[in-house]
């Protein structure tokens, strides 16, 4: 599965304003809902916050991949947000997070959810890709970089 099947430009913010973990999660959920995705905001936030209590999804190198399963969803969805200042997100390396990939999946999806998480994680291990995302000037540049990186990665 290619990410462009579940990731749309409307689900992208190039300038997150929140400076807290909870604020970023809310901002990304609001982005999805504001783009027409139908789901209960409070339930989705609760799912993400419960997942964060198990351990931070801040994987280091300025990256976090918050994720969870939401019963109302029919299909997986990805949102992306970039913080220009960085957010304290309890990342494993203790550094602020600037790049956020939010993955939400239907409650009963397992395999596809894990494959998408692995795909995103693998893409973000490339230092040049992270730098491209940090330096991108526009939302269109960010979207293009993500889709092209995904397309160049083997399935």
Q: Which of 67, 69, 98, 113 is catalytic?
A: 67
Reported as a pLDDT band with limits 50, 70 and 90, residue 155 is low
b/e sequence 75-110, b meaning 16+ C-beta within 10 Å: ebbbbbbbbeeebebebeeeeebbbbbbbbbbeeee
pLDDT in tens, 116-150: 999 999 999 999 999 999 999 999 999 999 999 99
Q: What is the mean pLDDT of residues 35-48?
A: 94
Q: Is residue 108 among the annotated active site residues?
A: no
Quote the percentage of the chain above a pLDDT of 70: 99
Q: Which domains does the chain have, with CATH numbers?
A: 11-148 (3.40.930.10)
47-64 in b/e form (b: 16+ CB < 10 A) is: bbeebbeeebbbbebbbb
pLDDT at site 22: 96
pLDDT one-digit tens code per residue, 76-112: 999 999 999 999 999 999 999 999 999 999 988 878 8
pLDDT at residue 24 greater than cutoff 80: yes
Residue 52: its pLDDT value, please? 96
């Amino acid at each position: 599965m290619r990410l462009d099947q579940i990731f749309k430009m409307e689900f992208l913010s190039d300038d997150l304003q929140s400076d807290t973990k909870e604020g970023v999660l809310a901002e990304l959920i609001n982005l999805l809902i504001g783009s027409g995705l139908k789901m209960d905001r409070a339930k989705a936030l609760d799912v993400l916050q419960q997942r964060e209590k198990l351990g931070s999804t801040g994987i280091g190198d300025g990256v976090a991949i918050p994720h969870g399963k939401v019963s109302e969803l029919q299909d997986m969805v990805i949102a992306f947000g970039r913080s220009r200042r960085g957010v304290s997100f309890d990342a494993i390396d203790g550094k602020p997070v600037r790049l956020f990939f939010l993955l939400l999946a239907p409650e009963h999806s397992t395999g596809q959810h894990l494959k998408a998480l692995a795909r995103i994680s693998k893409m973000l291990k490339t230092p040049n890709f992270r730098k491209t995302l940090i330096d991108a000037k526009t939302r269109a540049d960010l979207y293009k970089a993500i889709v092209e990186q995904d397309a160049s990665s083997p399935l």
